Amino acid sequence: MIWPFKPRFRKQIARIEITGAIASGTRKRVLEALKTVEERKFPALLLRIDSPGGTVGDSQEIYSALKRLRNKIKIVASFGNISASGGVYIGMGAEHIIANPGTITGSIGVILRGNNLERLLEKIGVSFKVIKSGPYKDILSFDRELTEPEQTILQELIDVSYQQFVQTVAEGRSLAVETVKTFADGRIFTGQQALELGVVDRLGTEEDARRWTAELVGLDPEKTPCYTLEEPKPLLSRVLPGSRQLGSGIGAGIDWLEFEMSTSGLPLWLYRP
């Protein structure tokens, strides 16, 4: 696709914001935005991350796309209030990372949760008859406890995902794998601590990140604006801006509930406070 205003975009910094739990919707939006950044030939990208993480596969796809784009333009990640677990993983796709001193980050690890409602079902007299092709086809079924072999299978799955995470952080931050493992035990830490550990390059605000990004590509940090790529707002939100704020709290709660339900039984790179 040919864009008529390429020179204008070449004098701006693209900005993409990743907020909330990372899932398929986030992946689709961010991948489309990254494609636009490349097509319009922005010289640099400021990636603002304010997320507790999310699904493994979606985080990996965003990271891979950033890594490819990094071969063509400069990418700087700015960690906001929280950039943990999958948020950290995505940040590894940036060439440089800046965080606030008080940013909550880290939580490098994997979690998988299932629900066991066996005792509740017994009380109300509900049971299930299962016909399956193999002993593990109903692994993490909510009507019974895990067996020891099932726990072993799931632990091995978690361990493989964890190794992928650690390896990516080690490569992204030029650290030894064993060094990363000393703090990649699920703990959270501040931006100040992340700097000391080598997870981020600098401390500062998003504005500091914008100025740094401009300097990296030879643009004037005093004058270079950011062009934020975001999904179009619904018509109602554009006509009645207040309507978006009215439902934001309820909407956020519903979104999180949907995320919890849709990811039950999946390995997650997610900080759960």
Burial of 123 (0-12, 13-18, 19+ CB in 10 A): exposed
Give every CB contact of residue 235 below 8 A, 6+ residues apart in sequence. Answer: none
Question: Has 223 been annotated as catalytic?
Answer: no
Backbone angles phi, psi at 74, to 5 degrees: -85, 140
Do the Cβ atoms of 66 and 87 come closer than 8 Å?
A: no
Q: Using only the alpha carbons of the chain, give its radius of gyration.
A: 21
CB contact burial 182-216 (16+ within 10 A = b; e otherwise)? ebbeeebbbbebbbebebbbebbebebbbbbbbeb
Q: What angle do CA 259, 146, 257 make, to 5 degrees?
A: 15
Out of 137, 233, 248, 262, pick the active-site residue: 137
Helices (H), 93-205: 118-123, 148-172, 177-181, 191-197
Q: How many residues does the chain have?
A: 273
Task: Give CA–CA dist 181/169, Å, rounded.
Answer: 10
From residue 159, give the alpha-carbon distance in Å to each of 35, 152, 166, 176, 256.
33, 10, 10, 18, 26
Out of 51, 59, 78, 85, pick the active-site residue: 85
Count of CA atoms in the C-beta half-sphere (13 A) of 92 = 27
Task: Give CA–CA dist 232/266, Å, rounded.
Answer: 30
Q: Catalytic residue positions? A: 85, 137
